[in-house]
């Protein structure tokens, strides 16, 4: 009957071999030990995958007013036409007409076209937005 392991069979045929000679005759990089059993490698615990959708990054959670303002502005932002103008209504009743608007994590910035200091850079909080629309309509 054939032997299940070639190393065990060779040690039976030539019992004068020592354990160190048996290891030396094994191929380099072989994972077979002196007993003929494969060597076991140590393995640590495997971490379970965790979703980040349930827990936002620290410091980036919006208040309800900021979330509403971000939604209002982003809806108008995607509809901006070739003129690049965006009209924003604020909580205090003022109206801004901006161009080259950039939406950032906590605020938005754009160049003023009308109102105080035309041509100046304006940055504001999303929480102050009540309405926004594409174009320069007042």
Could you give the domains of the chain?
1-37 (no CATH), 64-134 (2.30.30.100)
Share the mean pLDDT of the chain. 75
Q: What is the pLDDT of residue 124?
A: 94
- Higher per-residue pLDDT: 8 or 117: 117
CA distance 118 to 111: 8
Contacts of 35 (CB under 8 A, 6+ apart): none
Q: Write down the residue that tokens 């070739």 correspond to.
A: 82
CA distance 86 to 101: 8
Q: Which one-letter DSSP state was computed for residue 37?
A: S
- Higher per-residue pLDDT: 70 or 27: 70
Indicate whether 127 pLDDT > 80.
yes
Q: Write down the residue that tokens 């299940």 correspond to.
A: 4
Q: How many CB atoms lie within 10 A of CB 85?
A: 20
pLDDT, one tens digit per residue, over 48-61 is 776 665 655 555 66
């Amino acid at each position: 009957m054939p032997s299940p392991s070639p190393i065990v069979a060779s040690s039976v045929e030539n019992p004068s071999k020592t354990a160190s000679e048996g290891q030396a005759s094994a191929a380099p990089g072989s994972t077979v030990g002196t007993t003929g059993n494969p060597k076991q490698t140590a393995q640590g615990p495997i971490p379970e995958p965790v979703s980040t959708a349930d827990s936002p990054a620290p410091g980036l959670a919006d208040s309800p007013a900021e979330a509403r303002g971000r939604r209002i502005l982003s809806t108008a932002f995607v509809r901006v036409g070739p003129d690049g103008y965006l009209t924003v209504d604020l909580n205090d009743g003022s109206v801004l007409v901006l161009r080259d608007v950039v939406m950032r994590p906590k605020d938005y910035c754009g160049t003023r076209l009308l109102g105080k200091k035309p041509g100046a850079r304006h940055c504001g909080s999303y929480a102050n937005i009540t309405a926004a629309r594409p174009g320069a309509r007042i």
